[in-house]
Copies of this chain bind each other. A is one copy, B any other.
Amino acid sequence: MAVAGLPAVVARNDLPERVTICEVGPRDGLQNESAIVPVGVKLEFLDRLVAAGHRVVEATSFVHPKWVPQLADAEELLSALDRHPGVRYPVLVPNAKGLSRALAAGVDEIAIFGSATETFAQRNLNRSVAESIEMFAPVVATARDRGLRVRAYLSMCFGDPWEGPVPLRQVADAAVALMSLGCTELSLGDTIGVATPGQVRALLHAVSDAGVGLEQVAVHFHDTYGQALANTLAALESGISIVDASAGGLGGCPYAESATGNLATEDLVWQLDGLGIETGVDLGTLVETSVWMARQLGRPSPSRVVQALGG
């Protein structure tokens, strides 16, 4: 598919030359869709994303199927997956049990998920922030001993629906605690999508000041209030070069009452292409993939770029 954008403008000095996109559609996206997608469709989705140029694709989750029935086929998916050389396929792991399943499936990268707030830690992990770090410690240690990379998500980094604004220091402390376990990458999440660019800059400054190198840090924005792409720009200007995004904006339908959608990878790639920042991802192939996936799910993609180009 030909895409008629403008010629790129040479990037400013404070922007990275290259951005690594962590494509979270197959996991974070599909687990938040109401439809349950057959494993064959998931496999084709993964293959298409890699064909579009993605080199980091979050494949699935070993959270108990009781909680995430959408991804109950994790073992089946991974045993059938044709893993392309040079492509990372992180897999979400909630605890030691999940790690055992992941190791048995032969993954070479896991992702764990922590919380910056006590309320969300209790609700999502059934323990305090400190207790969750304790729980993750042996998981990360074992994974690293086996030579796996470990991606750590940190949720509710800006606002929390129960606690409101989250103090910078609290987020920075949780970030340091996770990285001290030996994680190789940290993804800072604006889980409810409330942040604006000044807050993004302030948090990245605080995290960096606390000793976490920004070359290891990803940002994970939600488009609930339409801020994801402006926040991404602020993050790139602050030293970030890893961005999470979800093909077609999968994961939370904006037509629903409470929109919770992930940043759409296509909208991100349009911006990065225009800024002259390399991603390796071909926008046209990605749009075709999201048009195809929207057909599988039986609803239009919320991505503006997919809506504009996918007709």
Contact = CB atoms under 8 A, between A and B. Distances in A.
A308 B258 CA distance: 5
A138 B114 CA distance: 65
Chain A residues touching B, majority SS: loop
A289 interface: no
A10 interface: yes
Given A198-B10, A276-B198, A307 B259 contact: yes
A229 interface: yes
Contact of A227 (B10, B202, B271): B271
Interface in A166-201: 193-199, 201
B195 A6 contact: yes
A273 B229 CA distance: 17
Contacts of A308: 193, 224-225, 258-259
A156 to B, nearest CB: 12
A40 interface: no
Report the 6 A-B pairs with minimum CB-CB distance, sorted nearest first.
Answer: A196-B274, A9-B198, A226-B304, A226-B267, A257-B311, A230-B230
A202 B6 CA distance: 13
Contacts of A274: 194-199, 227
This chain's copy number in the assembly: 2
Interface stretch (A24-32, A127-135, A157-165): A157-165
Interface in A217-237: 223-227, 229-230, 232-234
Which bracket fits the contact residues of A? Answer: 35 or more
B8 A198 contact: yes
Nearest to A311: B257
28 contacts: A5-B159, A5-B194, A6-B158, A6-B194, A6-B195, A6-B199, A9-B199, A10-B198, A11-B198, A195-B274, A196-B270, A196-B271, A196-B275, A197-B271, A197-B274, A198-B274, A198-B276, A223-B304, A226-B264, A226-B270, A229-B230, A230-B271, A233-B233, A233-B234, A257-B307, A259-B304, A259-B307, A259-B308
A95 interface: no
Contact of A225 (B195, B254, B304): B304
A196 B6 contact: yes
A7 B158 CA distance: 10
A213 interface: no
Nearest to A202: B9
A293 to B, nearest CB: 18
A201 B8 CA distance: 12
Contacts of A275: 196-198
